[in-house]
């Protein structure tokens, strides 16, 4: 496994590398301190399996870098490791395509468990309340705004009690990969209108009002009770 660490603090890079090495001797870690250096690594190494990204970089905005990498390398999961633990930053990171968000104040064990979840195809976010979250919308427009100012988040029932149809479960799995309705329709051989109906049913079942909230809800339920394999978000392709 090859992991790219992006953080402009050498001590943080060293601490992250120590955690990554717990995955075994076969792990190769590349640490860089700038977005420019990270771009060069990704261009030179097509076999990077995981990226850990700090949002506060000296030469670039972390959210912009996240969106750039998710667009250019959609098969490579990105986990944000940030000094911030604001819910608005968590929401925006997930909305930009991050597969995980770990505050730097988290323990090494928490970071290890989060990375293991992501590498297994899941999504990790820290426990948090969604009610009363502030923050401005991200570059993509309304989806962050919808998630940030929606009515107070209500944790839904366990996934196995949602009573979704098999087709709705397939739609949810693709939704967790951040795929738009057109791609979901193509993969499932459905009309876009039918996919919209399934997405609406999934959001109602999860008791949320946006795709980003759905990702956060599923992630937090997974941490609470264990996410069945059939519900895991497959690596984004």
Q: How far apart are CA 226 and CA 237, in angstroms?
A: 24
Q: What average pLDDT score do residues 48-54 get?
A: 95
Asked whether residue 113 falls in the same domain as residue 25, the answer is yes
Task: Report the pLDDT averaged over residues 216-221.
Answer: 74
Q: Are 162 and 205 contacting, i.e. CB atoms less than 8 angstroms apart?
A: yes
CATH code: domain of residue 81:
3.40.50.2300
**Residue 173 belongs to domain spanning:** 156-231
CA dihedral 176, 181, 183, 184 (to 10 degrees): 60
Query: Considering the domain boundaries, does residue 145 fall inside one?
Result: no
Q: What is the pLDDT of residue 231?
A: 43
In contact, 112 and 20? CB cutoff 8 Å: no
- Tell me: the pLDDT tens digits for 142-156? 333 333 333 334 444
* CA distances from residue 80 to 51, 69, 194 in whole angstroms, order as listed: 8, 12, 34
Residue 160 binned pLDDT confidence (cut-offs 50, 70, 90) = low
Q: In the predicted model, is pLDDT for residue 125 greater than 80? A: yes
Mean pLDDT of 155-183: 76
CATH number for the domain spanning 206: value is 1.10.10.10
Q: Are the CB atoms for 155 and 162 separated by under 8 Å? A: no
Placement of tokens 């997405």 in the chain = 199
204 Cβ contact list (under 8 Å, min separation 6): none
Q: Which of 13-17, 38-42, 47-51 has the lowest mean pLDDT?
A: 13-17
Task: Decide: 233 and 121 in contact? Cβ < 8 Å.
Answer: yes
Asked if residue 86 is part of any domain, the answer here is yes
| Any domain includes 89 | yes
- pTM for the model stands at 0.68
d(CA 200, CA 204): 6
Please tell me the total count of domains within the chain.
Answer: 2
Residue where a domain stops, chosen among 94, 119, 144:
119
In a domain? residue 64 = yes
The answer to whether position 50 is within a domain reads: yes
Query: Highest-confidence range of 14-28, 32-46, 81-95, 113-127, by mean pLDDT?
Result: 32-46
115 and 18 in a common domain: yes
C-alpha neighbours within 13 Å on the C-beta side of residue 214: 25
Determine, yes or no, domain membership for 15: yes
* Residue 85 within any structural domain of the chain: yes
43 and 101 share one domain: yes
In the block, tokens 């000296």 appear at 58
- In 10 A of CB 26, how many CB atoms? 7
Q: Tell me: do 112 and 163 sit in the same domain.
A: no
* Distance in angstroms (rounded) separating the CA atoms of residues 237 and 227: 21
Bridge partners for 28 per DSSP = 2
Q: Do residues 105 and 11 both lie within one domain?
A: yes
- 166 shares a domain with 79: no
Cβ–Cβ under 8 Å, residues 110 and 102 = yes
The last residue of one of the domains, among 69, 102, 119, is: 119
Do 46 and 95 fall within a single domain?
yes
Residue showing tokens 């060069």: 40
């Amino acid at each position: 496994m090859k992991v790219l660490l992006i953080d402009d603090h050498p001590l943080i890079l060293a601490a992250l590398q120590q955690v990554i090495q717990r995955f075994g001797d076969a792990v190769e870690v590349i640490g860089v301190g700038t977005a420019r250096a990270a771009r060069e690594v990704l261009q030179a190494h097509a076999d990077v399996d995981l990226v850990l990204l700090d949002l506060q970089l000296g030469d670039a905005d972390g959210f912009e870098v996240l969106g750039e990498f998710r667009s250019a390398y959609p098969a490579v999961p990105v986990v944000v490791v940030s000094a911030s633990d604001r819910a608005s930053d968590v929401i925006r990171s997930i909305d930009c395509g991050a597969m995980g968000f770990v505050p730097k104040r988290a323990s090494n064990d928490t970071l290890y468990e989060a990375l293991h979840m992501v590498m297994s195809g899941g999504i990790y976010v820290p426990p948090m309340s969604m009610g009363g979250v502030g923050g401005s919308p991200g570059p993509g427009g309304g989806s962050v705004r919808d998630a940030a100012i929606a009515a107070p988040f209500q944790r839904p029932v366990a996934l196995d009690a949602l009573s979704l149809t098999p087709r709705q479960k397939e739609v949810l799995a693709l939704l967790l990969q951040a795929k738009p309705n057109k791609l979901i329709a193509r993969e499932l051989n459905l009309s876009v209108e039918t996919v919209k109906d399934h997405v609406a049913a999934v959001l109602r079942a999860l008791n949320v009002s946006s795709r980003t909230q759905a990702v956060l809800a599923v992630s937090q339920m997974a941490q609470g009770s264990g996410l069945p394999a059939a519900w895991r978000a497959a690596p984004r392709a």
